[in-house]
Amino acid sequence: MKPGRAATFGKSAAQLLVGCVRQVVTARPRTEPDAGLLEAVKQWQQVFEHNPVMYFMVDPAGTVINVNTFGAAQLGYKPAELIGRSVLDVFFEEDRDFVRTCVALCLKTIDQSHTWEIRKVRKDGSVLWVRENAKTMLRANGGPIVLVACENITERKEAENALRQSEAYLAQAQELSHTGSFGWKAATGEITWSKETYRIFQFEEGTKPEIPLMLERIHPEDRLAVQRTTGRAAREEKAFDHEYRLVMPDGSIKYVRAVARAMRDANGHVEFVGSVTDITATKEAERKLRDSEQRFRDYAETASDWFWETGPDHRVTQISEHSDTIAAPAGLIGLTRWDIAPDADLEPEKWQKHRAALDAHVPFRDLVYRSKDRNGKPIYVRTSGKPFFDADGVFLGYRGVCTDVTAAIRTNQAEEALRRAQAELAHVTRVTTLGELTASIAHEINQPLAAVIANADACLAWLQRSPPDLKAARRSVEWIIEDGTRASDVIRHVRALAKRSGIEMVPLDANVVVREAVALVQREMASHAVSVRMELSSALPKIFGDRIQLQQVLINLIMNGIEAMEDVNDRPRELTIRSGTSGDGAMLVSVSDCGFGISEQAIDRLFMPFFTTKSSGMGMGLSICRSIIEAHGGQLSAAPSQERGATFQIILPLHREETS
Ligand code: ADP
């Protein structure tokens, strides 16, 4: 700091203050200042320096000729740093023209006060808002000087800015949320609207909002309700909340919701302050939701299934509304599934598994259990369910669907019973057939036994020779063993046929099955003078089936063929058995005879149970044969043979490994 300047400053400050204190000393003559005057100047200088108002004295060129310590300090300077500089230095570049204009105006209008608000820049670059009060005075030498007193209004300005900002935010928020605000003084009818409210009602901003204008916009069907609601609110001075429709200038419909609260203004009058929201989109979404809910309700109500919901304790909380029109059990609410299932104790394992799934909160599928319908009739129910949770993942229960599967279960049970009865019957007829085959079987066994005896005799004879012919004796014994084995094979086979054994599906060679069956009826054929012709394809793929059952079918067909040729005397009684594969990968086995054949009337009924044309016949054979073949996934059909007689054809699928 230059002392010279400080001295100048001190002098001119004192000089300038002379003007200010003129009134104080008007009584004094214009001579050298006396001690009293100097004292007054000093005091005023103190006031000038430390009064918390920023004072600037600027010459017509804009140079700072004085500034008080407070004023300089407010800008981060010492007075000496500012004195002699252009006052423009403490203003923003862009504000400087304005400052020049203001100073010029002051200079033009001596002794008149002017006020303006402007920003100043501190030494550190920060901003200060001030209100400047300026006035040009004439100095003792007649030169003009601009005195400026500034008041720091930064806080107010910041508050104003914040307010402006929050108003802007509010406007933004209103626009984004499609919510406008309004005020309504019920007594005077005065209405104020926010920008967004104007937008919602589609009125030009600035149009005076009046009730008739609003009513015009409101859908004619809703006008009365709106008037009633607002009228009652005004009378009772109570809050209101209502929804209504607007008809926009383009004819479109807008849904709005207006909510207002009653308040009292400064004069104690009721004033409503509220918001109005455009809820058209929400309404539309609600409508769509309602439509789709209705759709699902329609589906649900037309289904014979019923829907249920259980709580965290697995007790039923809800059940489809229409459940009373269908088989669903009644009075389920509050009960668990195992409370109502009479099989809960009978099948503990099933229920333990089910409850473990529920406790693990995993979905379950197709649980079938016994229950009772609303009339107490036993029913079978099949149910599947899925757990549901709240937004935090807390388990709330299960939702699912139940189906009455009684009919299906009963059908299954009936089919099972039928299957059992058929197997039983097949067994009985097999045993019956074996009874009929006694002669054949005896013959089958007798033959090797006779051979055994003959060979044993021969063996003895070889041994009795001198010397004994051991080689020949050994050969005889080997033949004995062979024949013995053959006899025992026949017995084993017959026992297998007679035994009530479960079905055993295995890969089979069709030709072997045919040969074994033929072996058992050999004698029967011989006694009826029937010859058999086997046309078996070699190297056949395997089939998959039960050996005993398939042999039963073949024996049945062969026996029927023998019987059909009983009266044939004019030609050889010949039975032909063929095997082979069809073009489309199936096994074909056929049994043809040249007997009396099948009449037109009989062809459709052959396979019916109890259809027989024989005096001692039972009429069950073919029906059982067909069910056996069908259980193997095949077909059994009958047709007249080419010349005379009948042909029965079996079609069987090949063993899967063979087809691939
Ligand atoms: P059953 O032999 O006890 O009569 P089946 O069911 O085996 O019972 O046969 C039913 C009927 O089918 C026989 O009574 C017969 O009229 C007819 N039938 C069966 N096989 C032949 C055949 N090979 N030729 C002509 N008719 C047959």
- 623 is written with which tokens? 């029906």
Ligand 1 pocket, residue 573 CB under 6 Å: no
Residue nearest to atom 8 of ligand 1 (CA): 619
Best residue among 556, 605, 612, 647 to mutate for probing ligand 1's pocket (most ligand atoms within 8 Å of CB) is: 612
Note whether 132 and 116 are within 8 A (CB): yes
Bridging pattern class, strands 144-152 and 127-138: antiparallel
Distance CA 264, CA 185 (A): 9
CA angle 513/517/523 to nearest 5° reads 155
Ligand 1 pocket, residue 553 CB under 6 Å: no
CA of 597 to the centre of ligand 1 (A): 10
Q: Any bridge partners for residue 444, and if so which?
A: none
pLDDT digits (tens, 9 = 90+) for 145-195: 999 999 999 999 889 888 898 888 888 888 888 899 999 998 888 999 999
pLDDT at position 323, please? 58
Ligand 1 pocket, residue 646 CB under 6 Å: yes
Enumerate residues 6+ apart whose C-beta is below 8 A from 49.
68, 69, 70
Kindly give the parts of the chain with pLDDT less than 50: 1-16, 18-28, 658-660
Minimum-distance ligand 1 atom for the alpha carbon of 619: 8
pLDDT at position 27, please? 44
pLDDT digits (tens, 9 = 90+) for 405-445: 998 998 888 888 777 776 677 777 777 777 777 766 777 78
Distance CA 577, CA 593 (A): 9
Ligand 1 pocket, residue 400 CB under 6 Å: no
Reading across the β-sheet that carries 64-67, which strands appear in turn? Answer: 64-67, 54-58, 144-152, 127-138, 114-121
- In order of their start, the domains of the chain are 13-152 (3.30.450.20), 160-284 (3.30.450.20), 303-404 (3.30.450.20), 506-660 (3.30.565.10)
The DSSP output letter for 86 is B
CA of 647 to the centre of ligand 1 (A): 12
CA of 611 to the centre of ligand 1 (A): 8
CA of 619 to the centre of ligand 1 (A): 7
CA of 546 to the centre of ligand 1 (A): 23
Distance CA 451, CA 492 (A): 19
Minimum-distance ligand 1 atom for the alpha carbon of 645: 24
pLDDT at position 601, please? 82
Minimum-distance ligand 1 atom for the alpha carbon of 606: 12
Question: Which amino acid belongs to residue 569?
Answer: N
pTM: 0.43
Can you point out the beta strands (E) in 512-658?
530-536, 543-545, 573-581, 586-592, 635-640, 646-653
Q: Determine whether 413 is exposed, middle or buried from the number of CB atoms within 10 Å of its CB (0-12, 13-18, 19+).
A: exposed
Minimum-distance ligand 1 atom for the alpha carbon of 618: 3
Ligand 1 pocket, residue 397 CB under 6 Å: no
Indicate the helix (H) or strand (E) that contains 404: strand 395-404
Ligand 1 pocket, residue 609 CB under 6 Å: no
Write b or e for each residue in 417-432: b if 16 or more Cβ atoms lie within 10 A of its Cβ, otherwise e.
Answer: eeeeeebeebbebbee
Q: At what angle do helices 547-564 and 510-527 cross, to 10 degrees?
A: 30
Ligand 1 pocket, residue 576 CB under 6 Å: no
What is the chain's length? Answer: 660
Ligand 1 pocket, residue 613 CB under 6 Å: yes
Ligand 1 pocket, residue 274 CB under 6 Å: no
CA of 602 to the centre of ligand 1 (A): 9
Residue nearest to atom 20 of ligand 1 (CA): 560
Residue nearest to atom 17 of ligand 1 (CA): 606
pLDDT at position 439, please? 67
Write the DSSP string, 528-547.
TTEEEEEEEPSSPPPEEE-H
CA of 591 to the centre of ligand 1 (A): 13
Bridging pattern class, strands 306-310 and 316-319: antiparallel
Minimum-distance ligand 1 atom for the alpha carbon of 612: 14
Strand, coil or helix: what is 91? coil
